[in-house]
Amino acid sequence: MMPELAKITITSRGETLDELPTYSGVYRFFSSENTLLYVGKSIDIRARVQSHFQEGKKPGRHQRIMSQVSRIETQSTAGEIGALLVENAAIKAETPLYNRRQRQVRKLWTIHLNRSRDNFLQPVSADFSPWGERALDSYGLFHNRRHVDNTIRRHARDHGLCLRMLGLDSGKGPCFQYQLKRCDGACAGDETPEEHNARLLSVLDRDRIAAWPFAGPLFLMERNIRPQDQQPAEQYHLVNHWSWLGCFDNTEAARKASQDNHQTVFDRDAYRMLMSALRKGKLELVDAATMQPVDNPLIRENCD
């Protein structure tokens, strides 16, 4: 039996509301036993929650979720980016019962590029630790070294790259794949190292995990020019080496948080959200130590 929305307790910032807010943010569904059932986000919380109830009228998974909801809590954000980041972190930290899990990155492998004496870039498997600094560009995330090797060989086959120049085939002179017309001839002098490298980078770039391009931690400021009641006009997202470390509603709280010794942990989903927002120029960048504006190099990279 579906509960009526009017009978559900709705809270935000600890206060009871007559109706759900229409601003952007995150919402949480709780059962009568205080079990966290589901975490979601929207640019219009009221509209999204009402759609949950409409979907819950049909038999299935959604009805099972909504039939248990007895309390809804909302958390406002200045905009859509904050809602995405807060929801992502909440799902992983709070483990709601019905969210499809967005998995944490654990022990994985990646691809780094070394340069041979002949100036050819050679992909090699490398341990990808989710902790620590992101000082080098990495390409892809893999469960084991065999997956890395198979991926490189597939790229070579599909794009005419030379396994010998990639460091995966020994010998001198034209390789066997060149004789079969599966290699574009870097090993035979038909292609320069620069041409071969450019093609390799083009293939790998779709899975690139960029090195952190800043000197230290940043605040990514998200503004809302028309905030609603109880919605922040701006928020500061503390980020260091692609690790999202929280959002704050004012500079005082943000600067205090930046002085704490945070452990940076790489999260693939948060990285994609942050990279997308930065490339689109949707956030203002502020140095966390000096509170001075910082140029966004990723806008230029996106235009090149």
Picking from 70, 94, 118, the residue at the C-terminal end of a domain is 94
pLDDT, residue 7, reads 53
Q: Is residue 99 part of a domain?
A: no
What is the domain count for the chain? 3
172 and 116 together in one domain: yes
Q: How far is CA 78 from CA 23, 84, 183, in A?
A: 8, 11, 52
pLDDT, residue 29, reads 94
Q: Give the DSSP H/E element, type plus range, for residue 81.
A: helix 80-94
Q: In this structure, are residues 37 and 29 in contact, taking their beta carbons and an 8 Å threshold?
A: yes
Q: Is residue 289 part of a domain?
A: yes
237 and 265 together in one domain: yes
199 and 223 together in one domain: no
The phi and psi torsions of 43 (rounded to 5 degrees) equal -85, -10
pLDDT, residue 1, reads 42
CATH number of the domain encompassing residue 90:
3.40.1440.10
Q: Is residue 192 part of a domain?
A: yes
200 and 224 together in one domain: no
**Mean pLDDT per 10-residue interval, the chain, length 304 residues:** 52 57 94 94 92 87 88 93 96 90 70 95 92 88 93 95 94 89 93 96 94 93 92 94 92 85 86 94 93 89 56
pLDDT, residue 17, reads 47
134 and 201 together in one domain: yes
pLDDT, residue 50, reads 86
pTM: 0.83
Q: Which domain holds residue 49?
A: 5-94
295 and 249 together in one domain: yes
